[in-house]
């Protein structure tokens, strides 16, 4: 009888400890302290020196009962490339042992954040003295990211983790079909993903320490010259006011073809932030699902193909174009031809990341400005999973990532946006199947 009691006690203890977790949290302000060029729009014509509110990098580090970790990084930036994230990931691996596949680096895609060196570099017609400021700020930014990630890992404390999914109403598909083609307008009947995935992090007494949440809609409500996290910034502020001491972290979903509409007024931006915060709050105050089990993560870079390359005569003509972005792209590719290097036929290292948060969540993380079709298709393909979360704008914001449908329809997301990202032409239709196949492989 005593032996049975001991075995039962050991079994009960094992079950009780099987789903214990730790979490660490750290944040840092990244608001520029001197005038700096603002990202997001080619029409920017001066540096920004004022703020609506601060910009942040925020980090949550999670650890399961087996010691496996997963680190989530969010930031109030428009974009960054692999040349920014790769050195950070390498340094984190060196200093903490965290494998690359267990680090998720994201931007909110606010269009009221600073230019990051190497991202959308063809877009802006900056004076030389303004160009000179971008690289030093970006170098400091990389240091801040690294320091904040390390601080979050060092902050590990016992935690309770739970998940749920809410909703926010304001995302609208922006691909409006007209007689002259698809424009950036409004398409209320078009597809959107208005779900709000929520990860709650409590201490062992049940007090909220952090909440991580996502939404699939451009942070483009505002076009003014003030540093601002847009609706996502206001949502985070709202939640942190409601839950003193807790940190709120936002990540972008597959919102490459969704806008907050109507827009361009601060009160609208605040309204959308409040609506998103309310969607998160409803989940926090509802019945959430506790996480069980351990974390796994996989990460792969794949080549994604370009469509047929244009004749060099096109770029020769583009040299005379009034657009600075078109001129720069033409000059770069003509120089490659002159040097005998040739034009690339594919982008060689598009990032695909899949993490399993225990038994409850399959988290798909994609690079670039991914359109909603990917979210809809991947969720359908993985319908057997309890919760499938989608994050885009992660690890390498390389370009817009259109679906085969969007490519066939044309428009900014399909074609002309490639100019600003410095690619030679649009993507080939095979891009969708290649990315989705990689997701499904990593999800096994």
| Kind and range of the H or E run holding 250 | strand 247-252
Q: What is the pLDDT of residues 68-117, one digit of tens each?
A: 999 999 999 999 999 999 999 999 999 999 999 999 999 999 999 999 99
Calculate the alpha carbon distances from 293 to 19, 26, 72, 158, 360 in Å: 6, 24, 18, 15, 9
Average pLDDT, the chain: 95
Q: How many Å apart are CA 372 and CA 387, to the nearest integer? A: 17
114 strand-pairing partners: 38
Q: What is the pLDDT of residues 381-432, one digit of tens each?
A: 998 877 999 999 999 999 999 999 999 999 999 999 999 999 999 999 999 9
Q: What is the pLDDT of residues 209-222, one digit of tens each?
A: 999 999 999 999 99
Examine the pLDDT at 17 and tell me if it is beyond 50.
no
pLDDT band at 2 (very low <50, low <70, confident <90, very high): very low
CA 23 to chain centre: 21
pLDDT band at 121 (very low <50, low <70, confident <90, very high): confident
Sequence-ordered list of residues with C-beta below 8 angstroms from that of 225, at least 6 positions apart, any chain: 38, 46, 48, 50
Q: How many Å apart are CA 225 and CA 422, to the nearest integer? A: 25
| Kind and range of the H or E run holding 402 | none
Residue spans of alpha helices (H) in 50-163 = 82-96, 128-154
Q: What is the pLDDT of residues 277-311, one digit of tens each?
A: 999 999 999 999 999 999 999 999 999 999 999 99
pLDDT band at 13 (very low <50, low <70, confident <90, very high): very low
- Please report the beta strands in 95-245, taking only residues with DSSP state E, as ranges in sequence order: 103-105, 157-167, 171-173, 175-178, 181-184, 195-202, 208-215
Q: What is the pLDDT of residues 200-257, one digit of tens each?
A: 999 999 999 999 999 999 999 999 999 999 999 999 999 999 999 999 999 999 999 9
Question: Rounded mean pLDDT of 364-392?
Answer: 95
Nearest to 273 by CA among 309, 323, 237: 237
- Cα separation of the two ends of the chain: 43
């Amino acid at each position: 009888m005593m032996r049975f009691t001991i075995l039962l006690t050991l079994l009960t203890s094992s079950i009780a400890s099987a789903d214990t977790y730790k979490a660490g949290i750290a944040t840092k302000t990244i608001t520029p302290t001197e005038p700096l060029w603002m990202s997001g729009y080619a029409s920017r014509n001066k540096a920004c020196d004022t703020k609506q509110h601060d910009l942040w990098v925020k980090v949550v580090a999670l650890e399961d009962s087996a010691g496996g970790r997963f680190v989530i990084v969010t930031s109030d930036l428009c974009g960054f490339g692999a040349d920014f994230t790769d050195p950070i990931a390498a340094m984190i691996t060196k200093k903490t042992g965290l494998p690359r596949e267990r680090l998720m680096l994201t931007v909110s895609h606010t269009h009221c954040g600073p230019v990051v060196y190497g991202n959308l570099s063809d877009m802006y017609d900056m004076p030389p003295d303004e160009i000179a400021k971008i690289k030093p700020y970006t170098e400091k930014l990389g240091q801040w990211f690294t320091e904040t990630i390390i601080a979050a890992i060092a902050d590990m404390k016992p935690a309770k983790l739970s998940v749920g999914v809410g909703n926010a109403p304001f995302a609208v598909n922006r691909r409006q079909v007209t007689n002259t083609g698809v424009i950036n307008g409004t398409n209320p009947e078009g597809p959107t993903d208005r779900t709000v995935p929520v990860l709650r992090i409590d201490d062992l007494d049940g007090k909220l320490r952090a909440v991580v949440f996502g939404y699939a809609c451009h942070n483009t409500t505002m076009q003014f010259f003030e540093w601002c996290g847009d609706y996502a910034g206001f949502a985070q502020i709202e939640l942190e006011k409601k839950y003193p001491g807790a940190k709120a972290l936002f990540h972008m979903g597959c919102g490459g073809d969704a806008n907050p509409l109507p827009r361009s007024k601060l009160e609208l931006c605040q309204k959308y932030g409040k609506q998103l915060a309310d969607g998160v709050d409803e989940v926090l105050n509802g019945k959430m699902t506790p996480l069980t089990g351990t974390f796994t993560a996989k990460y792969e870079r794949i080549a994604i193909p370009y469509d047929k390359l244009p004749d060099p005569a096109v770029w020769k003509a583009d040299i005379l174009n009034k657009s600075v972005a078109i001129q720069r792209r033409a000059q770069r590719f003509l120089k490659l031809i002159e040097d005998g290097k040739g034009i690339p036929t594919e982008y060689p290292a598009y990032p695909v990341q899949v993490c399993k948060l225990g038994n409850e969540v399959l988290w798909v993380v994609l690079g670039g400005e991914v359109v909603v079709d990917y979210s809809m298709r991947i969720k359908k393909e993985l319908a057997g999973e309890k919760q499938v979360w989608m994050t885009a704008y992660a690890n390498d914001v390389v370009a817009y990532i259109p679906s085969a449908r969007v490519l066939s329809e044309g428009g900014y997301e399909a074609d002309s946006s490639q100019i600003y990202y410095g690619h030679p032409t649009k993507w080939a239709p095979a891009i969708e199947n290649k990315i989705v196949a990689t997701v499904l492989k990593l999800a096994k």
